Amino acid sequence: MVTEKLRLMAVHAHPDDESSKGAATMARYVAEGVDVLVATCTGGERGSVLNSKMDRPEVWRDITGIRAKEMERAREILGVKQAWLGFVDSGLPEGWLPDSGIDLPEDCFYLEPLEVASAPLVRLIREFKPHVVITYDEDGGYPHPDHIKTHVISMEAFDAAGDPERYKEFGEPWQPSKLYYHMSFGRARLTALHEAVLAEGLESPYGEWLESRDWTDDKGERVTTKVECASYFPVRDEALKAHATQVDPEGFWFRVPMEIQQKAWPTEDYELVKSHVATTKPEDDLFAGLR
C-alpha cells in the first residue's frame, strides 16, 4: 500500500491527444489530490489544421508554436503537469501502415532508434516516479506512426526505468506499479451512446460507424478497468476545445448532448496490461491495489 501522494503519468503522441483520451480520468484524479503528469512525445509539427475556422496562412506559418500554446491552455484546464519529450512529428502520409513501404521524414519520431526514443521517457519516469502509467495499445489506438512509437517506447521505458543496469545515466531506478492501455471505442460503448441518442429522438453520429466497422477484434472486450468520471466530461471537452487547430467546437465529437453521454456511458475505460501489485479485475480505479 502506498502511503505517499499518488502519481499518474499519461504518455501521448501529440498535443491534443491528452484531451481526447483519458482527460476526464486525469481531471478526476487531480481533483482527488493525485499528482498527474502528461508526457507529450512530439510537438505536432506535421499535424493538419482540422478546424476549418483556423485554416489560415498565419496558423500554418507557426503551427508548432500555436500547438504549444494550445497545450499550455489544455493542461491548465485539466490541472495537470506536462513535459515535452522533444521528438519531431512523423506526419501521416496517405496509406501509411508499418509494412506499407511508404517513407517517413528522416528526422521523425517513428524512425528514432528504440533506445534513443525511449531515453527521455525513462529519465522522466525516474524523475517523476509515477505509480501508474497510461499509454496506447499495440497499434497505437489507431495506426498513426507516432501513436505506434508511443506504445513501443512506453513498453520499453516501463520496464527499463526499474532496471538498475539500464540507462544508468538517468539516476536511481524507479519501477511503476501498473501499466494501462486506453480503450476508447469498443462496440458496447458506441452502441450505448448510439441507442441513447436515438431514444431522445435525435440523430446519432455513430450509426454508420457501427455498421461499417469490422468488429471481429473488438477491443472493448479487453477492458478491465472502468473509471467513473462523468462529472468531469465538461472539463474534458473544454480542454479538447483548447486545441483549436485540431478540433471544431461544432464538430463530430460534440454532437451527443452532455447529459446523454454522462448517463449512457459515465466511465473512461482501460486495459490493465502489467501490474506489480495484487489487484482484482474488474477494477474501478487505476490505483486499485495501491491505496
Is 182 labelled a binding residue?
no
Domain-wise residue ranges, the chain: 7-185+219-256+266-275
Query: Which residue pairs from 211-220 have beta carbons closer than 8 angstroms and sit at least 24 positions apart in sequence?
Result: 215/187, 218/186, 218/187, 219/137, 219/183, 219/185, 219/186, 219/271, 220/183, 220/185, 220/186, 220/187, 220/188, 220/189, 220/269
Is 12 known as a binding-site position? no
How large is the average pLDDT for residues 65-90? 97
pLDDT for 233 beyond 90: yes
pLDDT the model gives residue 106: 96
Instruction: Return the minimum-mean-pLDDT range out of 62-66, 172-176, 236-240.
Output: 62-66
Helical H segments across 161-232, by residue range = 187-199, 207-212
Task: Answer whether residue 156 shows pLDDT above 80.
Answer: yes
For residue 170, the model assigns a pLDDT of 96
**7-185+219-256+266-275 homologous superfamily:** LmbE-like (3.40.50.10320)
Say which residue the cell 525513462 belongs to.
122
**pLDDT, tens digit, 9 for 90 and up, residues 23-77:** 999 999 999 999 999 999 999 999 888 878 788 877 778 889 999 999 999 999 9
Higher pLDDT, 57 or 80: 80
* The pLDDT of residue 271: 98
Average pLDDT of the chain, as a whole number: 95
Helix (H, G, I), strand (E, B) or coil at 256: coil
pLDDT of residue 254: 87
Q: Which residue has the cell 451512446?
A: 193
pLDDT of residue 251: 80
Per-residue pLDDT band for 242 (boundaries 50, 70, 90) equals: very high
Parallel, antiparallel or unpaired: strands 267-275 and 132-135: unpaired
DSSP 8-state secondary structure symbol assigned to residue 106: T
147 is in an annotated binding site: yes
With H, G, I as helix, E, B as strand and everything else as coil, classify residue 180: strand
d(CA 88, CA 90): 6
pLDDT band at 1 (very low <50, low <70, confident <90, very high): confident
The sheet carrying 267-275 orders its strands as 81-87, 35-42, 7-12, 132-135, 178-182, 267-275, 225-228
Model pLDDT, residue 58:
79
What per-residue confidence (pLDDT) applies to 9?
A: 99
Q: Which segment of 7-11, 193-197, 210-214 scores lowest on mean pLDDT?
A: 210-214
